[in-house]
């Protein structure tokens, strides 16, 4: 029976182990190379994808900014009353034929707000070629009589316009704001603004009592003696700003009772101390 030496077995086992180790190393290298190839393919796909997207975006932008389809064909103005549509479009500095994307909304809004009548404005693009300008205007609530003209004022005390036209809104008499400061865009002085709050309360109550149109002038020169100049050559001495609701009710009642007569209505006393409103006819 032949005898196999142990050394020969060890040599054979070593050769087998080395072969297995080499095979594993080769497979590892092959796997690593395959991963690199797949990773490179994925990277190339991403590059192609994003390059395509960028090219499409650039092409879209070029088309958007260059195509006449997106030129402004119509400019609409909404909710304007005091200012004409032509005036607002002129202020906007927009024009037909200009690309609808070649302006900043904030710039156009700022341009339009240069006019004191404009309190707020919103710009909307309606593709492909319409721009809508929606304005919120300040109202002409009161006027101040100047030498040969009127200054229109809103209920926040903003001076909106100087005009020779009397549009029939209540006149504020006895303001403290210097005449040189009565300019569009300015506001009344602080003391006048405080008195204006009282005037607004008076006009609100007058509206509730259906006598708003009967008030022609309001004298605010003395905060302790507001005076209304009414139709039919009547006056109403209101006193200070206390109990305005009660005072305006008496003014309405006495105007009705003394219709057609010239004179003064007195409601400037202390109603909590037995004062009674009365009318004194002009002699």
* 138-173 pLDDT, tens digit each: 999 999 999 899 999 999 999 999 999 999 999 999
Token pair listed for 133: 């300008």
Same domain (yes/no): 173, 114: no
How confident is residue 136, by pLDDT bands cut at 50, 70 and 90? Answer: very high
Per-residue model confidence (pLDDT) at position 59: 59
- How far, in Å, CA of 265 to CA of 234, rounded? 7
Q: Residue range 126-136: average pLDDT?
A: 94
From 18-22, 163-167, 181-185, 204-208, the region with the lowest mean pLDDT: 18-22
Same domain (yes/no): 111, 48: no
Does residue 39 register a pLDDT over 60? yes
Give the bridge partners for 72, in sequence order.
Answer: none
Does residue 7 register a pLDDT over 90? no
Q: Can you say whether residue 72 is alpha, beta or left, with left for phi > 0 and alpha for psi between -120 and 50 degrees?
A: beta
Same domain (yes/no): 195, 211: yes
pLDDT digits (tens, 9 = 90+) for 14-32: 666 666 666 667 677 776 7
Structural domain harbouring 83 = 69-137
Same domain (yes/no): 147, 219: yes
Last residue of a domain, one of 49, 66, 83: 66
**SS3 (DSSP) at 188:** coil
Per-residue model confidence (pLDDT) at position 249: 95
Does residue 53 register a pLDDT over 80? no
Same domain (yes/no): 159, 271: yes
Number of CB atoms found within 10 A of residue 224's CB: 9
Same domain (yes/no): 23, 62: yes
Q: Residue range 170-193: average pLDDT?
A: 95
CATH of residue 123: 3.10.20.310
Q: Residue range 33-44: average pLDDT?
A: 73
Same domain (yes/no): 92, 119: yes
The pLDDT > 70 percentage for the chain reads 86
Same domain (yes/no): 91, 123: yes
CB neighbour list of residue 7: distance below 8 Å, 6 or more residues apart: none
The pLDDT > 90 percentage for the chain reads 67
From 49-53, 119-123, 132-136, 216-220, the region with the lowest mean pLDDT: 49-53
Per-residue model confidence (pLDDT) at position 54: 75
Last residue of a domain, one of 84, 113, 137: 137
Same domain (yes/no): 113, 10: no
Per-residue model confidence (pLDDT) at position 22: 64
CA proximity to 146, closest of 128, 132, 127, 165: 165
Same domain (yes/no): 175, 277: yes
User: Residue 35 to residues 31, 32, 43, 262: CA-CA distances in angstroms?
Assistant: 6, 5, 12, 105
Per-residue model confidence (pLDDT) at position 2: 53
Last residue of a domain, one of 98, 122, 137: 137
How confident is residue 273, by pLDDT bands cut at 50, 70 and 90? Answer: confident
Q: Residue range 24-41: average pLDDT?
A: 72
Q: Residue range 77-88: average pLDDT?
A: 95
Per-residue model confidence (pLDDT) at position 94: 95
Same domain (yes/no): 161, 180: yes
Average pLDDT, the chain: 88
Same domain (yes/no): 86, 125: yes
Domain count, the chain: 3
CATH of residue 199: 3.40.50
Full-model pTM: 0.73
Number of CB atoms found within 10 A of residue 123's CB: 18
Q: Residue range 219-241: average pLDDT?
A: 95
Does residue 88 register a pLDDT over 80? yes
Long-range contacts, 94-99 (Cβ 8 Å, 24+):
94/131, 96/71, 96/72, 97/71, 97/72, 98/71, 98/72, 99/65, 99/70, 99/71, 99/72
Per-residue model confidence (pLDDT) at position 61: 57
């Amino acid at each position: 029976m032949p005898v196999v030496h142990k050394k020969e077995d060890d040599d054979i086992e070593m050769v087998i182990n080395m072969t297995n180790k080499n095979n594993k190393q080769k497979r590892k290298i092959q796997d690593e190379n395959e991963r690199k190839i797949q990773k490179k393919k994925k990277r190339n796909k991403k590059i192609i994808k994003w390059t395509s997207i960028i090219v499409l975006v650039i092409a879209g932008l070029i088309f958007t900014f260059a195509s006449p389809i997106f030129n402004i064909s119509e400019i609409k103005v909404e909710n304007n009353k005091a200012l004409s549509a032509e005036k607002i479009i002129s202020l906007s500095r927009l024009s037909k034929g200009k690309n609808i994307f070649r302006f900043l909304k904030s710039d156009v809004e700022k341009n339009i707000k240069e006019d004191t009548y404009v309190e707020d404005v919103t710009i909307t693009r309606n593709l492909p070629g319409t721009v809508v300008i929606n304005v919120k205007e300040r109202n002409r609530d009161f006027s101040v009589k100047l030498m040969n003209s009127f200054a229109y004022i809103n209920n926040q005390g903003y001076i909106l316009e100087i005009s020779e036209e009397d549009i029939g809104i209540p006149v504020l008499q006895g303001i403290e704001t210097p005449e040189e400061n009565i300019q569009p865009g300015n506001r009344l002085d602080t003391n006048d603004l405080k008195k204006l709050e009282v005037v607004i309360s008076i006009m609100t109550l007058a509206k509730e009592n259906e006598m708003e149109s009967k008030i022609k002038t309001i004298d605010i020169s003395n905060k302790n003696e507001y005076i209304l100049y009414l139709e039919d050559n009547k006056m109403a001495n209101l006193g200070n700003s206390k109990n305005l609701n009660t005072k305006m009710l008496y003014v309405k009642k006495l105007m009705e009772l003394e219709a057609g007569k010239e004179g003064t209505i007195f409601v400037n006393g202390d109603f909590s101390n037995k004062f009674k409103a009365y009318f004194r006819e002009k002699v």
